[in-house]
Amino acid sequence: MIISRLLHRLCLLPAAAAIVMLAACAGTTRNAVPTGTTDPDKFLFDKGTTALNAKKWLTAREYFKQVTETYTQSAYRPDAKLGIGDTYLGEGTAEALVLAINE
């Protein structure tokens, strides 16, 4: 009986691994800039600002981080850095406050 359970669990292992690998390959296009956008940094900054105003802290932070990490010479980068701090402050937790100060 113990061997039967062990074999059953071993059969489930490859299936679970396949599901994890498929999920990793899926990729996300949540913050993708539409093709043909003339100012992608402005597009992302505006999306981040909209999410910030809607109190969607994590979504806003993702947009702002994409501006700061991808468009390092952008005129929107300093404001995006402040936006990241604002998202942490908006969360209102002690941990978020520390992260906002570090940002």
Looking up tokens 């956008």 gives 37
pTM of the model: 0.67
Its domain, for residue 86, covers: 2-30+39-102
Q: Is pLDDT of 19 > 60?
A: no
Considering its fold, how many domains does the chain have in total?
Answer: 1
Which is nearest to 49 in space by CA: 87, 10, 91? 87
Which pLDDT belongs to residue 70?
Answer: 94
| More confident of the two residues 93 and 84 | 84
Q: 22-68: per-residue pLDDT in tens?
A: 444 444 445 578 888 899 999 999 999 999 999 999 999 999 999 99
What does pLDDT average to over the chain?
79
